[in-house]
Amino acid sequence: MTTTLTKEMSTNLITVNKAEILHTAYRIMSANRIRHLAVTNEFNEICGILSDRDVQRGMSSQVTNIFGMRVEDLKFLPDSKVGDYMTWPPKMISAESDLRDAAQLFLDEKISAVLIADGKKVEGIITTDDLLRVLLKLLNDKDGITHKISDFFTKDFLGRVSQMASDSGL
């Protein structure tokens, strides 16, 4: 049985306009505890994606020691815009795609998020965190089997994970 992205994606898509200053995007990400923002253009259409790594490229950091405490001062150039740092065009995948397709895209493209689209309409986002939640469901200890890191390097491990996925209906 396959699991489609609609079961695991985040549908609460938070966006930022590409003309917005980068520091605002950083504050939105921090406030929402997220690492990716969909980026919109002047017509409110999705035109890119901004990751925390993109934001980090646009910031400088100075660490000082004040009274024995480490204090980090983050600075952004005042004219740094989201559009200057976003990835475009954004990677998209169909909502009816299998989770394996998203995982393979992450590996092939070295990315950690992809937008989920139904035709031209963006419906959500799926991230590596979402895929890790699926893995945790698969590896929960309800079957009485412990899962050690060393098990990952055995042929039997992948077979057991596949069997657990099948047994759990994922």
The amino acid that residue 150 corresponds to is S
Neighbours of 47 (CB within 10 A): 18
Give the model's pLDDT for residue 118: 84
pLDDT along the chain (170 residues), means of 10: 65 94 97 96 96 94 85 86 96 90 93 89 91 83 64 62 62
Q: Exposed (0-12), middle (13-18) or buried (19+): which is 108, by Cβ within 10 Å? A: exposed
Give the model's pLDDT for residue 96: 86
DSSP helix, strand, coil percent of the chain (3-state; round to 5): 40, 30, 30
Contacts of 102 (CB under 8 A, 6+ apart): 5, 93, 114, 126, 131
CB 114 within 8 A of CB 106: yes
Give the model's pLDDT for residue 138: 78
Give the model's pLDDT for residue 1: 47
For 26-69, what is each residue's pLDDT tens digit? Answer: 999 999 999 999 999 999 999 999 999 999 999 988 888 888 88
pTM exceeding the 0.85 threshold for the entire prediction: no
CB 115 within 8 A of CB 90: yes
Mode of pairing for the β-strands spanning 113-118 and 92-94? parallel
Distance CA 26, CA 99 (A): 29
CA distances, 164 to each of 27, 89, 93, 144, 155 (Å): 40, 36, 26, 12, 15
Pick the closest to residue 8 from 118, 104, 122, 95 (CA basis). 95
Distance CA 122, CA 139 (A): 31
CB 92 within 8 A of CB 116: yes
Give the model's pLDDT for residue 10: 79
Give the model's pLDDT for residue 116: 93
* Rg value, the chain, Cα: 19
